[in-house]
């Protein structure tokens, strides 16, 4: 557009707008930056007043996050010199590392349940979305309303019968149970989003394939799927982020075996007093993948965020 367009904001108003938005963005980043910094502080630095922005970085928080430690006598410490750098860090407090903490396991549970439910949601969701998009299906128009209404139930309310159901079926505190549950929660949105993407692929492509002798399955697999790849990827990211972040079901329905990271991270604080650096380290490791995904997929996320109500 030329500089004379009446709808183009003036340079001055652009400057002011830019300044205000950047100021807001920087303020909004403060808590996130603080999580990152606190993870590299010593417990003493983390709770010092005034809050320290400049400090000696240490990996203590990360060591504490991944290990369990016990206090030992001086004789024992002298008899057993530290094995590695992590050992040396905990020696400052007369402690020795006795084994890994539960964090690694909880993190893996998050990965297994997150990816498992995402795969299942996308697999089933794509099939259903294709059918909804291409065939006459009864009750098609009620789908959006159905999505909305299933999301009106507080998760805590749904958790009551799910808890009883899982107990009867032996699915309590299992990965499979959580994968099925998250798939059930995600799938209505996944179908809705995917249907939008498949609707945009011209029918003529498949019809040409059908005339060329493809079966419906082949046409779906070889023509529609590649065309819908971007849509499927962005829907998948959305399902993954939901399952990754979910807390209410996880805290109510899982405990020793299938517990994911969100209910676990707040409990780190109980291990050895007020260990904020370890909490911050756990939060950092847990939040960073989502931040990276968000930045990489920013162009495609809007649809998922707005329940597909806003196209692009």
Q: How far is the CB of 75 from another protein (least distance, A)?
A: 36
Whole-angstrom CA distances from 104 to 68, 111, 115 are 12, 11, 16
Nearer to another protein (CB atom), residue 29 or residue 98? 29
| x-or-dash string of contact with another protein, 92-111, rule CB under 8 A | --------------------
Q: Which residues pair with 95 in a beta bridge?
A: 71
Q: How far is the CB of 258 from another protein (least distance, A)?
A: 16
In degrees and rounded to multiples of 5, residue 98 shows phi and psi of -110, -10
In degrees and rounded to multiples of 5, residue 85 shows phi and psi of -65, -35
Q: Is 176 in the site for another protein (CB under 8 A)?
A: no
Using a 10 angstrom Cβ sphere, with 0-12 exposed, 13-18 middle and 19 or more buried, the burial of residue 152 is exposed
Nearer to another protein (CB atom), residue 128 or residue 232? 128
Nearer to another protein (CB atom), residue 59 or residue 131? 131
Residue 278, token pair as written in the block: 């370890």
Nearer to another protein (CB atom), residue 28 or residue 84? 28
In degrees and rounded to multiples of 5, residue 68 shows phi and psi of -110, 145
Nearer to another protein (CB atom), residue 55 or residue 307? 307
Nearer to another protein (CB atom), residue 23 or residue 92? 23
Q: Is 3 in the site for another protein (CB under 8 A)?
A: no
Binding to another protein (CB under 8 A) within 179-218 occurs at 180-181, 183-185, 187-188, 191, 203, 207, 210-211, 213, 215-218
* Contact of 121 with 183, CB cutoff 8 Å: yes
Using a 10 angstrom Cβ sphere, with 0-12 exposed, 13-18 middle and 19 or more buried, the burial of residue 272 is middle
Using a 10 angstrom Cβ sphere, with 0-12 exposed, 13-18 middle and 19 or more buried, the burial of residue 83 is exposed
Q: DSSP 3-state assignment of 69?
A: strand
Q: Is 132 in the site for another protein (CB under 8 A)?
A: yes
In degrees and rounded to multiples of 5, residue 210 shows phi and psi of -65, -40
Binding to another protein (CB under 8 A) within 109-128 occurs at 124-125, 127-128
Considering only 2, 13, 73, 74, the residue that binds another protein (CB under 8 A) is: 13
Binding to another protein (CB under 8 A) within 215-254 occurs at 215-218, 241, 244-248, 251-252
Nearer to another protein (CB atom), residue 97 or residue 246? 246
Residue 273, token pair as written in the block: 């007093």
Nearer to another protein (CB atom), residue 228 or residue 251? 251
Residue 186, token pair as written in the block: 């995600």
Largest CA distance in the chain: 84
Binding to another protein (CB under 8 A) within 19-48 occurs at 20-22, 24-25, 28-32, 34-35, 38, 46-48
> How many angstroms separate the CA atoms of 252 and 263, rounded?
9
Q: How far is the CB of 19 from another protein (least distance, A)?
A: 9
Binding to another protein (CB under 8 A) within 255-294 occurs at 261-263, 265-266, 269, 276, 279-280, 282-283, 286-287, 290-291, 293-294
């Amino acid at each position: 557009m030329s500089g004379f367009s009446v709808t183009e904001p003036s340079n001055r108003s652009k400057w002011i707008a830019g300044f205000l938005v950047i100021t807001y963005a920087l303020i909004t980043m403060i808590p996130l930056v603080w999580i990152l910094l606190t993870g590299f502080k010593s417990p003493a630095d983390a709770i010092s007043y005034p809050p320290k922005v400049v400090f000696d970085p240490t990996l203590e928080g990360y060591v504490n996050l991944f290990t369990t430690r016990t206090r030992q006598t001086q004789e024992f410490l002298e008899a057993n010199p530290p094995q590695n750098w992590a050992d040396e860090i905990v020696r400052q407090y007369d402690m020795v590392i006795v084994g890994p903490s539960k964090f690694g396991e909880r993190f893996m549970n998050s990965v297994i349940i997150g990816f498992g439910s995402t795969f299942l949601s996308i697999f089933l969701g794509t099939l259903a979305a294709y059918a909804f998009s291409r065939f006459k299906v009864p009750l098609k128009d009620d789908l959006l309303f159905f999505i909305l209404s299933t999301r009106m139930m507080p998760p805590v309310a749904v958790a009551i019968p799910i808890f009883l159901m899982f107990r009867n079926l032996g699915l309590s505190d299992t990965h499979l149970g959580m994968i099925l549950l998250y798939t059930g929660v995600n799938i209505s949105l996944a179908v809705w989003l995917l249907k939008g993407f498949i609707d945009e692929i011209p029918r003529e492509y498949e019809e040409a394939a059908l005339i060329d002798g493809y079966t419906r399955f082949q046409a779906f697999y070889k023509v529609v799927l590649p065309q819908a790849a971007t849509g499927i990827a962005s829907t998948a990211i959305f399902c993954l982020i939901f399952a990754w972040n979910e807390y209410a079901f996880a805290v109510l329905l899982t405990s020793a075996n299938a517990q994911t990271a969100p209910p676990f991270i707040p409990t780190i604080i109980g291990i050895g007093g007020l260990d904020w650096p370890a909490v911050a380290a756990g939060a950092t490791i847990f939040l960073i993948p989502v931040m990276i995904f968000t930045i990489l997929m920013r162009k495609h996320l809007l649809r998922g965020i707005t329940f597909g109500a806003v196209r692009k």
